[in-house]
Amino acid sequence: GFIKVNQYLQTNYENIYAIGDVVNSPMLAHVAAYEAKIALHNITSDSKKTPDYTLTPWAIFSGYEIGYVGLNEETAKSKGIEVVSGYFPYTYNEKAVDELDSEGYVRLYFEKNSKKLIGADVVGIGASEIIHEIAVFVKEGYTAEQVHEFIYFHPSLSEIFAFASYDVAVGKLF
């Protein structure tokens, strides 16, 4: 079982807080570190914060690195959100080609009417690193146009987001 905590990560003992794998939250080291920041704030401050796990980045380290954050098409539909998506393969990303590791892709998910970014899947080299950028874009409410027009370093893996958002922002590229 888990240690029960309230929305501030406080146990039923006023001066005891719990975080990480002992509470019912995603069992990830970076989530525990995030919860530690929240708990420390709540212990040392008169104001209180609550953890928000909606934009927790996830990664799977396998033959192909996989990173994802936010909603995908299936989870969005289950919440009644209509989705459009943009896709771009690593094959055309110069950094991935330079690294001799150009297998993979990025798929970005946008709410159909507003074109706001709601999530992403990244499969390929550096997926666990570049997924954080998408988490910030989702949190800040970026639209497909804003993702597309963002100035990305070249060559970089993250510039693939400009191409993956093109179909939704501008129209079909291919």
In this prediction the pTM is: 0.90
Give 57-170's CATH code, choosing from 3.30.390.30, 2.40.50.140, 3.30.420.340, 3.40.50.12780.
3.30.390.30
Catalytic residue among 30, 41, 132, 154: 154
Per-residue pLDDT reduced to its tens digit, 69-127: 999 999 999 999 999 999 999 999 999 999 999 999 999 999 999 999 999 999 999 99
Show me where the domains of the chain are located.
1-53, 57-170
Please write the tens of the pLDDT for every residue from 19-54.
999 999 999 999 999 999 999 999 999 999 999 999
Mean pLDDT over all residues of the chain? 96
Q: SS3 letters for the chain?
A: CCCCCCCCCECCCCCCECCHHHCCCCCCHHHHHHHHHHHHHHHHCCCCCCCCCCCCCEEEECCCEEEEEECCHHHHHHCCCCEEEEEEEHHHCHHHHHCCCCCCEEEEEEECCCCEEEEEEEECCCHHHHHHHHHHHHHCCCEHHHHHHCCCCCCCCCCHHHHHCHHHHCCCCC
**In which band, very low, low, confident or very high, does the pLDDT at 174 lie, cut at 50, 70 and 90?**
low
173 has pLDDT over 90: no
154 is catalytic: yes
pLDDT at 171: 85
